[in-house]
Structure 1
Amino acid sequence: MLSITVTDGGEMRGNDGLHRQWQFADPDGLAHRATASLRSAGSSVVILSGPSGAGKSRLAAEASAALSAEGWHVLPVTASAAIAGIPLGALTPLLAADLADFGAIASEPLALFAQARRAVERIAAGRRTVMVVDDIPQLDSLSIGLITQLLSARVLQLIVTVRSGEPLPDAILSMWTSASAVRIDVPPLSVEHCELLLTGVLGARVAHRSVVELQRLSAGNPLFLRELVTGAVDDGHLAPNEGIWQLVGDPIGTPALHDLIRSRLRHLEPAETEIVERLAVCQPIHLNDLEGDGARAAVVRLERAGVVVVQELAGALLLSLAHPQYVSAVRASLSRLRVIDLLLDQADIVSRRPLTPDDELRVATWRLDAGSPSSPELLVRAAHLALIAQDQVAVARLAAAAVSAGAPAAEMLFLQGEAMWTLGRNTEALALLERAAIADQAEPTDLQLTGHIATARASTYAGEALGNSLGLAVLDEVIVRHPTLASSLALSRAVLLLNLEEADLAAETLVEAAPASDSPETAAAILALSTALPLSALGRSAEALEQARAAVDYASTAERPAFARRRALMVLSTVLLQTGDVREATSLTLESLHDAIGHDDELAIRYNELMLGRCFLAAGRLDTAARWLRDVISGAQARGPIAYRDQARALLAATLAAQGNTGDAAAVLATLPAEFIEKHSNATLAMLWLEAVSGDRATAASGLIAAARATKARGHYVLAASLAHSASRLGAAAAATPLLAELAANGDSPLVRAQHAHSAAESAAGIEMLEAAGETWEASGHLLFAAECFASAAAASRRDGSARQAAALQQRADALSAQCEGASTPLLQFADSTEPLTKREREIAALAAQGLSSVEIAERLFLSPRTVNNHLQASYAKLGIRRRSELTGL
Structure 2
Amino acid sequence: MSTGFERWPLIGRTKERATISRAIADAHRRPVVIRGAGGIGKTRLAREVGKAFNGTVFWVRGTLSGRHIPLGAFAAWVDPTVTDPLRRVNTLIETMTSDRSTLVVVDDLPRLDDMSLFVVMTLMHAGHVAVIATVRSDDPLTPTSAEVVDHENAMLIELPGLTETETADYVFAGLGAPASDELLASLFHRTRGNPLFLRALLEHSRDTGDLTLSDGVWISAGRPSLPDSLSAMLANRCESAGADVIDVIDVLAVAEPLPVPVVAELTGYGAIERAERHGFVATGGTAVHPELRLTHPILGEIRRASASVRHSRLRGQIARALAAAPGTSSMSGIKQAVLALDAEDFDGRDQILVAGAHAALGSTDLALALQLCAAVRSPDRSVQSQLISGYALSLLGQGDAAEATLAAVTGQAATPEEIELIALVRANNHVWTRDRPDEARSVADNENLRPRTAATISGILDALSGRPCAVLNALDGPAFSGVPPLGEVLRCWAMVIATGETGRVHDLTAWAAAGYAATDTPTTAHHRSALTHLHAYFCCLLGDPGTAGRAVADLADIIGFAPGLPRVWLTGADGMLGVACGNISLATRLLDTALRGFDELGAPPFMWIPFCLERAEAAAMAGDRATLDTLITHLADHAHGAFGFLRPRIDLLKAWSLAWQGAVTAAIAVALRIADDARTAERVGHEILALQFAVRFGATTCVARAELLAESFPDLPRAVATAAHARAVGDAQKLDQVAELYTGFDLHTCAADAHAAAAIAHGDQGRNGARLTALENLARTADPRGIATPMMTAARLSDGLSARQREIVILARAGASNKGIADKLQLSVRTVEGHLYRAARVLGEPVRTGRRH
Q: TM-score range by the shorter chain?
A: 0.5 to 0.7
Long gaps (5+) in structure 2: 1-20, 38-43, 55-92, 94-113, 134-139, 162-193, 201-233, 239-245, 265-271
- Separation (CA, whole Å) in 2 of partners of 1:505 and 1:845: 58
TM, length-normalised to structure 2: 0.61
- The 8 Å contact of residues 258 and 292 in structure 2, kept in 1 or not, is answered as yes
| Cα gap change, 1:663 to 1:840, in 2 (>3 Å) | closer
| Cα gap change, 1:864 to 1:433, in 2 (>3 Å) | closer
- The 8 Å contact of residues 792 and 831 in structure 1, kept in 2 or not, is answered as yes
Matches within 5 A, 1:290-689: 292-293=272-273, 315-316=288-289, 347=319, 350=322, 353-354=325-326, 356-358=328-330, 361-372=333-344, 375-386=349-360, 392=366, 394-402=368-376, 404-437=377-410, 441=411, 443-464=412-433, 466-476=435-445, 478=446, 481-482=447-448, 485-511=450-476, 514-515=479-480, 517=482, 530-552=494-516, 569-589=532-552, 591-592=554-555, 595=558, 602=565, 608=570, 610-630=572-592, 631-632=594-595, 635=598, 638-673=601-636, 676=639, 680-689=647-656
* CA deviation vs aligned residue, 1:703-761 (integer Å, no higher than 9, x gap): 221122112212222122222322333x3522344443444445455243145236415
Matches within 5 A, 1:736-751: 736-748=702-714, 750-751=716-717
Identify the match of residue 751 of structure 2 among 755, 767, 786.
786
| Cα gap change, 1:768 to 1:601, in 2 (>3 Å) | same
The answer as to 2:726 corresponding to 1:726 is no
- Separation (CA, whole Å) in 2 of partners of 1:594 and 1:264: 44
- Separation (CA, whole Å) in 2 of partners of 1:261 and 1:424: 43
One-letter code of the match for 2:379?
G
| Cα gap change, 1:863 to 1:792, in 2 (>3 Å) | closer
* Residue of structure 2 in register with 1:812 after alignment: 777
Q: CA deviation at 1:863?
A: 13
- The 8 Å contact of residues 468 and 502 in structure 2, kept in 1 or not, is answered as yes
- Separation (CA, whole Å) in 2 of partners of 1:401 and 1:336: 25
* CA deviation vs aligned residue, 1:327-377 (integer Å, no higher than 9, x gap): 9x9999997889967966864774685463557614422314535575223
- The 8 Å contact of residues 525 and 551 in structure 1, kept in 2 or not, is answered as yes
RMSD after superposition: 5.9
- Separation (CA, whole Å) in 2 of partners of 1:708 and 1:332: 70
- The 8 Å contact of residues 388 and 560 in structure 1, kept in 2 or not, is answered as yes
Task: Please give the secondary structure, in 1, of the residue aligned with 2:784.
Answer: coil
Q: CA deviation at 1:538?
A: 0.6
Q: CA deviation at 1:690?
A: 1.8
| Cα gap change, 1:692 to 1:568, in 2 (>3 Å) | closer
The alignment-based identity, stated in percent, is 16
- Separation (CA, whole Å) in 1 of partners of 2:302 and 2:666: 68
One-letter code of the match for 1:378?
I
- The 8 Å contact of residues 784 and 817 in structure 1, kept in 2 or not, is answered as yes
| Cα gap change, 1:616 to 1:843, in 2 (>3 Å) | closer
| Cα gap change, 1:871 to 1:52, in 2 (>3 Å) | closer
Q: CA deviation at 1:518?
A: 6.7
One-letter code of the match for 2:121?
S
Task: Please give the secondary structure, in 1, of the residue aligned with 2:662.
Answer: coil
* Residue of structure 2 in register with 1:712 after alignment: 679
* CA deviation vs aligned residue, 1:121-158 (integer Å, no higher than 9, x gap): xxxxxxxxxxxxxxxx99xxxxxxxxxxxxxxxxxxxx
- Separation (CA, whole Å) in 1 of partners of 2:538 and 2:368: 33
Q: CA deviation at 1:860?
A: 15
Aligned length: 656
Identify the match of residue 218 of structure 1 among 116, 121, 124.
121
* Residue of structure 1 in register with 2:723 after alignment: 757
- Separation (CA, whole Å) in 2 of partners of 1:840 and 1:213: 58
Identify the match of residue 692 of structure 1 among 637, 640, 659.
659
| Cα gap change, 1:47 to 1:414, in 2 (>3 Å) | closer
- The 8 Å contact of residues 537 and 717 in structure 1, kept in 2 or not, is answered as yes
- The 8 Å contact of residues 777 and 785 in structure 1, kept in 2 or not, is answered as yes
Task: Please give the secondary structure, in 2, of the residue aligned with 1:734.
Answer: coil
* CA deviation vs aligned residue, 1:471-527 (integer Å, no higher than 9, x gap): 223322x1xx23x623333223222222122222222332568336179x9998875
| Cα gap change, 1:794 to 1:330, in 2 (>3 Å) | farther
Q: CA deviation at 1:868?
A: 10
- The 8 Å contact of residues 636 and 642 in structure 1, kept in 2 or not, is answered as no
Matches within 5 A, 1:229-248: none
Q: CA deviation at 1:413?
A: 1.4
* Residue of structure 2 in register with 1:178 after alignment: none
- Separation (CA, whole Å) in 2 of partners of 1:671 and 1:847: 49
- The 8 Å contact of residues 633 and 648 in structure 1, kept in 2 or not, is answered as no
* CA deviation vs aligned residue, 1:605-632 (integer Å, no higher than 9, x gap): 7765554443222223334444554534
One-letter code of the match for 2:624?
N
- Separation (CA, whole Å) in 2 of partners of 1:759 and 1:629: 29
- The 8 Å contact of residues 756 and 792 in structure 2, kept in 1 or not, is answered as yes
Q: CA deviation at 1:693?
A: 1.3
Task: Please give the secondary structure, in 2, of the residue aligned with 1:489.
Answer: helix
- Separation (CA, whole Å) in 2 of partners of 1:877 and 1:213: 70
- Separation (CA, whole Å) in 1 of partners of 2:636 and 2:781: 36
- Separation (CA, whole Å) in 1 of partners of 2:766 and 2:253: 77
- The 8 Å contact of residues 497 and 534 in structure 2, kept in 1 or not, is answered as yes
- Separation (CA, whole Å) in 1 of partners of 2:603 and 2:630: 22
* Residue of structure 2 in register with 1:68 after alignment: none
The answer as to 2:744 corresponding to 1:775 is no
* CA deviation vs aligned residue, 1:20-40 (integer Å, no higher than 9, x gap): xxxxxxxxxxxxxxxxxxxxx
- Separation (CA, whole Å) in 2 of partners of 1:575 and 1:553: 19
- Separation (CA, whole Å) in 2 of partners of 1:547 and 1:809: 42
- Separation (CA, whole Å) in 2 of partners of 1:704 and 1:316: 64
* Residue of structure 1 in register with 2:177 after alignment: none
* CA deviation vs aligned residue, 1:586-614 (integer Å, no higher than 9, x gap): 45335536746877885x67765554443
Matches within 5 A, 1:129-168: 165=50
Q: CA deviation at 1:781?
A: 2.8
* Residue of structure 2 in register with 1:735 after alignment: 701
Long gaps (5+) in structure 1: 1-45, 59-78, 83-136, 139-161, 170-189, 191-210, 228-233, 239-249
TM, length-normalised to structure 1: 0.59
- Separation (CA, whole Å) in 2 of partners of 1:856 and 1:608: 46
Task: Please give the secondary structure, in 2, of the residue aligned with 1:670.
Answer: helix
One-letter code of the match for 2:656?
W
| Cα gap change, 1:57 to 1:741, in 2 (>3 Å) | same
- Separation (CA, whole Å) in 1 of partners of 2:28 and 2:737: 55
Q: CA deviation at 1:535?
A: 1.0
